[in-house]
Structure formats: structure tokens, C-alpha cells
Structure 1
């Protein structure tokens, strides 16, 4: 803090020296502040985008019902994915809605006519009652992400 106080007169002096005849130090500070504020914002990371040719996919189901689950129990369900298109299906990411759900999926390209798997593992430890969770599946399909989900009735 003491160093900042010592630097303040130096900064003010530099601003005065660098002024044009028709500008005051206040105008320079205002102009510099605007220049900083008008810089372009840093890009925010976006969702994964596949550059592979698109294909089509069929899911065994988009939602699954676990039914009654004892609190603290860990359950999982496997969703079967079939490549119904003419190009290889590439699943680039499965993004669950929260940390209670852990995904796993076929990492290798799924050839036309072949099947792959997406597994969602649910930890019921922090829940009571009805739970509805979803995950987004990013793949080289026209309408990505594909949303899959499950419900569970967590019992004490």
C-alpha cells in the first residue's frame, strides 16, 4: 500500500507530461480508462464442437426410472446407442448436470450400424425423495447435445 502511495505522484507527473497542449491530465485518465474498458472481452469456453461429418443416432431410451433406491446406494444404468447414419458416430463428451452423476461412454468411433454405450452412475447419498437428473451427450449429430436422464425415489 505504501508503494502505491509513492507511485501516485509519478503516475500523475507522467500523465501531465504526456498530455497534448489541448488535453488535461483528467482527459488522459478518462481516455485511458475508456480504452481499457473498451477492449474485447475474453472468450468464454464453449461446449465441445465436433468437426466430424454428422450422422444419426438411436437411443435404447432417453430416460430411465431406477424406482426406489436406498439413501447412500450407488446405482448405474447403461443407455445403448446405435449409429443409424452413414458416418462414424463420435461421442466427444457426456456432461452430467451435477457431481452426483458420473458418466462413462464409448470413446472409440461407433461405425454405422454398430452400437455403443453411455453409462450414468448415480450416488444417492445426498438426496431424499424424488430425484430427476439429466446429462448432455455431445456427438457429431445434427441436434447436439442429446439429453438423457433418469429418476429415482431415494428412501431413508
Structure 2
């Protein structure tokens, strides 16, 4: 009786193990379930965006191009607690209208203002930058990142200056 019961369990265990082995899922690269990967790819198709260049694609020859007269401006010495401004001028030397999406400074003390309307090919535009020196001393170096429909999509401008000490007694803030 014990031998029959043992044999029954042994046969049932082998059948169960064999059934489990038949239900294995196919595994692809990096141990991923191939069926799950294919389902995820089908649910999230790749979108072809003409304004985004990949390494294998050639740049769009018709894309707008921002050509700046200068990409960096040095204010020199700046009086303490003052506000200084500079205007960066550019020309769209590309073949299609230039659309600036955003201009963002690396610090809240620097505020850029840019054209919101398209700049036609051959036309000029201006980006005005205001720097507030309140509470700052010493050498300052701030970047402005412009995001537009150009290739590449970002362009960097830089402003620099040396904020003179205000002569007040006490610790100096940097």
C-alpha cells in the first residue's frame, strides 16, 4: 500500500513538473519575456518627429538656423544692486520660419525676453536679457538656453560681469 501511494505521488509529481516545463515563456534579450515586450511595443509605437534628429539621420537642410552676431556678452564691472540689460541680435539664415519655444536662464536673477512670432528666413530678431545684481558680488557667469525648431533644438547664450563690492561693512555674499 505504501509503495502504491508512493508511486502515485511520484507519477503525479513527474506529470506536474512536465506540465510546468511546457508552459515556460520564451525569453529574449536581457531576460525579458518576448511576448510581453512585443505587446508593449505594439501598444507604444514610435512616433516620427521631423524636428528631432537622431544620430543616423541627416540634418534637415530646410531647418531654420539662428545666427547670432555674438553668443557671449561681458558687462565688465557692474555697480552693486543695479540692473543691467543686453540685446542679442540674430538672423534666421535657414530656409523656413524660426519659432522660438522658450528662453530660460540658469538663474532667477537673469530674465530673457524673446520674439513670440515666427522669424521669417532672412529676417532679424532680438533676445533681450536683463540681469539683476542685487545681493550679488564678484564674477558672475549666466547662461541662457534657447529652445527653437532648429537643429540642434537648443542654443546657448552667455552673459558675464564683475559685480563690485558695495562698500558696506559686514560679510560679503557671493
TM-score by length of 1: 0.65
5 Å matches for 1:3-152? 54-152=63-161
How far 1:123 sits from its partner (Å)? 0.1
**How far apart are 1:126 and its partner, in Å?**
2.1
- 3-state SS of 1:125 partner: coil
Instruction: Tell me the distance in 2 between the aligned counterparts of 1:101 and 1:136.
Output: 12
Contact persistence 1:50–1:139 (CA under 8 A): no
Aligned length: 108
Q: 1:95-135 CA distances to partner (integer Å, 9 max, x unpaired)?
A: 11010001101111000000011011000012111100001
The separation in 1 between residues aligned to 2:144 and 2:66, in whole angstroms, is 16
1:67-119 CA-partner distances (Å, limit 9, x unpaired)? 00001110010000100011001111001101000110111100000001101
In structure 2, the gaps of 5 or more residues are 1-48, 53-61, 166-174
Deviating beyond 3 angstroms after TM superposition, the runs of 4 or more aligned structure 1 residues are: 49-53
| Larger strand share, 1 or 2 | 1
- Whose Rg is larger? 2
Residues 50, 92 of structure 1: 8 Å contact kept: no
1:74 and 1:50 map into 2 onto residues whose CA distance is 41
Q: Partners of 1:118 and 1:91 in 2: how far apart?
A: 10
TM-score for the superposition, normalised by structure 2: 0.59
Structure 1 residue 154 and structure 2 residue 163: aligned?
A: yes
- Structure 2 equivalent of residue 39 of structure 1: none
Q: Aligned equivalents of 2:106 and 2:137: distance in 1?
A: 17
CA RMSD across the alignment? 1.9
